[in-house]
Structure 1
Amino acid sequence: MGVTRTPRSRWIEEGLRMLSAGGPEAVRIEPLAQVLGVTKGGFYGFFKNRDVLLAEILDTWERETTEALIDQVETAGGDGRAKLDRLFTLVASGDGLMTGAAADLAIREWARRDQQVAVQLKRVDNRRMDYLRALFGEFCADEEDVEVRSLLVFSLRIGSPLIAAEHPGRSRKDVLELTRRWLLR
């Protein structure tokens, strides 16, 4: 009976967790192996070096937080409002590694210092905005209205964890629900 290897996906998942917590500098092979409870030699069975791992972390993040999420929304069908409602629900319920905002924020910070990451982030942001525009465009005739709604949703996703403002008489969840209802009218 052979030794069970730690799956490649676990290396990427834990690497993304480290990236989310401390930026790309925090993604180190030895500490990553320790977290996984394996030797760092196992790393080299999957990745040529740390840069390859970082690139795969970014690709996985892009695929899971954009394309897989869009596919999940589209698969269930419905009109633009129904799809937006589903998208809001999926994103709001996602405090997990892939759907939580920590990874997005860490990657945005990383993109400020790394041109390659900035290019990939721009591609992701454009894809997300294009999708939002398409959904809002199904029930909003005014192009400016579509753009404002799309930008508002996009900004809430990115900036919401950073906003510390209080909402007298309402919880943060109540305010987000109020915003969602307004956006879908």
Structure 2
Amino acid sequence: MSSRTNLTREDWIHAAQEVLVTSGVDAVRVDTLAKELKITRGSFYYHFKSRGELLEGILGNWRARATEDVILHLRNAHSSPLQQLHRLLELPSHGQTAKDAASIELGIRGWARRDKQARQAIDEVDSHRLSYIEGLLIQAGVPSGDAQDRAYLIYAYQISLSLLHSEDTPQQRLERSQRMAGILIPESCTLPA
């Protein structure tokens, strides 16, 4: 990639996310990324005004892919709220894609411990995800107060999976998510036939 027209804004963001995951936010530097991408710094400035704008791009890309796209995909599947909950619980068992998503999530959460902008993005995403899960539970017939607590448990379970290293096979992870659905989703909610 020797021309700035060949390298997209998304290429820079993806490369920055990889550095974030492996080395932390302090290592996300224009020079480092340019060297990694084998291109001049000029390409960076064609797409971004500053490193800060790149960092905003990382957060925006993560928010879109890890939250908005997931919710949109689940909603567009034309499935019941309960089926959406089950599919949501199965997401962490989706192999390398799930591992990559969890790595980015952990990198951003680590960054958010000391950066106000990243903390705000995490807070917004957490709130949006919790509201979505709570809404699905309410639609499935769970009383509002109980739905809020169960949404928190479901979300906490999913976040915890990104912290745990497991040698389980994809099938074992899927079976665990199905067992957890039995624990986290009340029996009064049933899947439609």
Give the TM-score range, shorter chain: 0.7 to 0.9
TM-score normalized with structure 2 length: 0.81
Percent identity, please.
31
Counterpart contact for 1:81–1:136, Cα < 8 Å: yes
CA–CA separation in structure 1 for the residues paired with 2:40 and 2:166: 45
Q: Aligned residue for 2:191?
A: none
Q: Equivalences for 1:12-161 in 2 at 5 Å? A: 12-93=13-94, 95-96=96-97, 100-161=101-162
- Larger deviation, residues 95-104 vs 158-167: 158-167
Counterpart contact for 2:25–2:111, Cα < 8 Å: yes
- 1:14 alignment partner AA: A
CA–CA separation in structure 2 for the residues paired with 1:183 and 1:46: 44
Q: Kindly state the Cα deviation for residue 111 of structure 1 after the two structures are TM-superposed.
A: 1.2
Counterpart contact for 2:13–2:58, Cα < 8 Å: yes
Number of residue equivalences: 181
Q: What RMSD in Å do the two structures reach over aligned CA positions?
A: 2.7
Q: Kindly state the Cα deviation for residue 96 of structure 1 after the two structures are TM-superposed.
A: 2.9
Q: Kindly state the Cα deviation for residue 98 of structure 1 after the two structures are TM-superposed.
A: 9.1
Q: Kindly state the Cα deviation for residue 172 of structure 1 after the two structures are TM-superposed.
A: 5.4
Please identify runs of 4+ aligned residues in structure 1 that moved more than 6 A. 164-167
Pair 1:154–1:6, CA change in 2 (3 A): same
Unaligned runs of 5+ in 1: none
Unaligned runs of 5+ in 2: 188-193
Counterpart contact for 1:97–1:103, Cα < 8 Å: no
